Amino acid sequence: MNRRALLTSLAVAPLIAGCRRSAVASTPRGGLPPLRTITPGAFGTCVQVANLTDPAWLDLARTHVSQLTPEWEMKMEYILADGLDRLRLDRTDRIARFAADNGMALHGHTLIWYSQGQEAFAGLDNAAFDRAFDGYIATVAGHYRGKVQSWDVVNEPILDDGSGLRDCHWSRRYGQDGYIRRAFDEARIADPEAVLFLNEYNLEGVPAKGAQFLRLVERLLKAGCPLQGLGTQSHLWIDIPDGQIAAFMHELAQFGLPIHVSELDVSLRTDSALDLRGQQYRLSLQTARVTELAEVYMRLPAAQRFAFTTWGLRDTDSWYRRDDKDDGKDRPLPFDAAGQPNPMARALATAFQT
């Protein structure tokens, strides 16, 4: 399922979010309370500009969401489409305005990612590369200073099998740990107030990858990196063994840093063409995975429960439903196409209110 003194100061953000939740009436929708009113920290979702023209999505988001993450339009692929000298920030500006107008926090995603930026940086000598790398972070993070409360500074630095860190255009210039440290240092300069996250996927499902992530975090912190939060994407699959999600989250919590469940979805698909299990049984497995994740999140200290974000709201919004293999049956997100709660939404509501 490929995809894709600190605590004192950071404790303020969840407290503010809690005050905002308590001031909002908890009118049920489809028998479900607004998730933003019951989620410790914030309840988030990803967003694209196209969502902002969809009245049904707007209604659902305003009901349940207190934090937004740009799904694509804050990534280098879009921002650098016209080259290093003409950064495109128009769409994310629109998302930022929507978030501000609706009292939602904005989580920046992402400054540096191994899979993007190579074409724009190709052919630069070392000095020009350094200026472009530092300048990109300074410009983008600086532009959203005061509008973005947090950033995924570096996204997905670890190999899928957990055997090591990825080799990429950034690491070839600065080293595998070096480009991460440099990105965090530059982001800290550009926005001293934002909470800076390292974000990765398949940490719960692939124990070797989770262990590699923990070792990387330990190295960065020992080196003085201004890493302030840990993002686990939680693109889960239904056959993760019972207890494995909770075990990893327990290890992740040992650093004492805020934790962001940053991109949750759970596809009902599996890789086996011989998997004949029915839809309801798959949904029961999905519910078990989501319940385990939400319950262990609830057991975190309050200052570590930064936010709980799903990678879309409705099944039809999901990246799993955008390829040519989509049969229209996958239900990876909290709400169905009509905006009614799926079993996932009810599992989250139960865990958050327990």
Radius of gyration of the chain (CA): 19
User: What are the Cα distances from residue 106, in Å, to 65, 87, 299?
Assistant: 11, 20, 25
The gap between the terminal CA atoms of the chain, to the nearest Å, is 30
Rounded Cα gap, residues 5 and 167, in angstroms: 34
* pLDDT of res. 7: 34
Q: Does 183 map to a domain?
A: yes
d(CA 18, CA 37): 8
CA dihedral sign of residues 322, 263, 90, 134: negative
Does residue 119 belong to any structural domain of this protein?
A: yes
CA neighbor of 199 nearest in space, from 137, 111, 120, 130: 111
Task: Look at residue 167 in the predicted model and tell me its pLDDT.
Answer: 98
Asked, for residue 347, whether it belongs to a domain, the answer is yes
CA distances for 206 relative to 2, 161, 162, 268, 287, angstroms: 11, 7, 8, 18, 20
Q: What is the pLDDT of residue 29?
A: 61
Q: Please tell me the predicted confidence (pLDDT) of residue 15.
A: 33
Collapsing DSSP to helix, strand or coil, 224 comes out as: coil
Q: What CATH number is given to the structural domain containing 13?
A: 3.20.20.80
Domain range spanning residue 227?
Answer: 6-352
Q: For 86, left (φ over 0), alpha (ψ -120 to 50), or beta?
A: beta
In tens, the pLDDT along 25-75 reads 344 567 899 999 999 999 999 999 999 999 999 999 999 999 999 999 999
Whether 125 is in a domain gets the answer yes
What phi and psi values does residue 283 have, to the nearest 5 degrees? -65, -35
Count of domains observed in the chain: 1
How distant, in Å, are the alpha carbons of 6, 136, 177, 199, 231 from that of 127?
A: 34, 14, 20, 28, 31
* Inside any domain, residue 133: yes
Instruction: Produce one character per residue of 186-218: b if its CB has 16 or more CB atoms within 10 Å, e if not.
Output: bbbebbeebbbbbbbbbbbbbbebbebbbebbe
* Within-domain flag for 290: yes
231 assigned to some structural domain: yes
Read off the pLDDT of residues 257-301 as tens digits, 9 standing for 90 and up.
Answer: 999 999 999 999 998 888 999 999 999 999 999 999 999 999 999
Predicted pLDDT at 326: 79
Secondary structure element (H or E) that encloses residue 286, with its range: helix 279-298
Q: What is the full per-residue pLDDT of the chain (354 aa) written as tens digits?
A: 444 433 333 333 333 344 333 333 344 567 899 999 999 999 999 999 999 999 999 999 999 999 999 999 999 999 999 999 999 999 999 999 999 999 999 999 999 999 999 999 999 999 999 999 999 999 999 999 999 999 999 999 999 999 999 999 999 999 999 999 999 999 999 999 999 999 999 999 999 999 999 999 999 999 999 999 999 999 999 999 999 999 999 999 999 999 999 999 999 999 888 899 999 999 999 999 999 999 999 999 999 999 999 999 999 999 999 877 678 889 999 999 999 999 999 999 999 998
On whether residue 1 sits in a domain, the answer given is no
In this prediction the pTM is 0.91
User: What pLDDT is recorded for position 178?
Assistant: 98
